[in-house]
Amino acid sequence: MIIYRDLISHDEMFSDIYKIQEIAGGLCLEVEGKMVSRTEGNVDDSLIGGNASAEGTEGKGTESTVVAGADMVMNHHLQETSFTEEAYKKYIKDYMKSIKGKLKNKDQKVKPFMTGCRTNQPHPC
């Protein structure tokens, strides 16, 4: 399995189990996930030495909750951010400068990256 990481923070972003396609002339990757519901906190008593037939059902012990969301977000523990338009523009400008700095050692990638940034600037990759 291939894990895609952020070039700057090295945080896990997604893996190759999802459908991935290049967009914005190869500048960005679009990852297709799906909405799922999962039950969390539901522990089978037999896993912790319980025997329901011998103990009865009065002390249920664990409670379960249903959590819904995008599978990619839940699998990789991604956190939602909220930006105003101005804050996003500033963030993405600084982020792209950092990416350019990381690509300095790879000259064959810098020019296409910079061209793509200028061409697709309004695209919210």
Comparison of pLDDT for 56 and 80, the residue scoring more = 80
pTM, to two decimals: 0.62
Comparison of pLDDT for 43 and 93, the residue scoring more = 93
The number of residues in the chain equals 125
The mean pLDDT of the chain is 79
Domains of the chain, by residue range, sit at 34-80
Using a pLDDT cut of 90, give the percent of the chain over it. Answer: 15
Rounded CA-CA distance 50/46 in Å is 5
β strands within 1-125, DSSP E: 3-5, 12-15, 19-23, 28-32, 35-40, 65-70
Main-chain dihedrals φ then ψ at residue 22, nearest 5 degrees: -80, 140
Please give the pLDDT value at position 64: 78
Task: Identify the weakest region by mean pLDDT among 17-31, 36-50, 65-79, 101-115.
Answer: 36-50
Tens digits of residue pLDDT in 61-74? 567 788 888 888 88
Residue pointed to by tokens 């990481």: 5
Instruction: Tell me: pLDDT of 85 over 80.
Output: yes
Tens digits of residue pLDDT in 12-28? 889 999 999 988 777 78
Residue type, 63: E
Here the tokens at position 103 are 């690509």
Residue pointed to by tokens 């002339």: 25
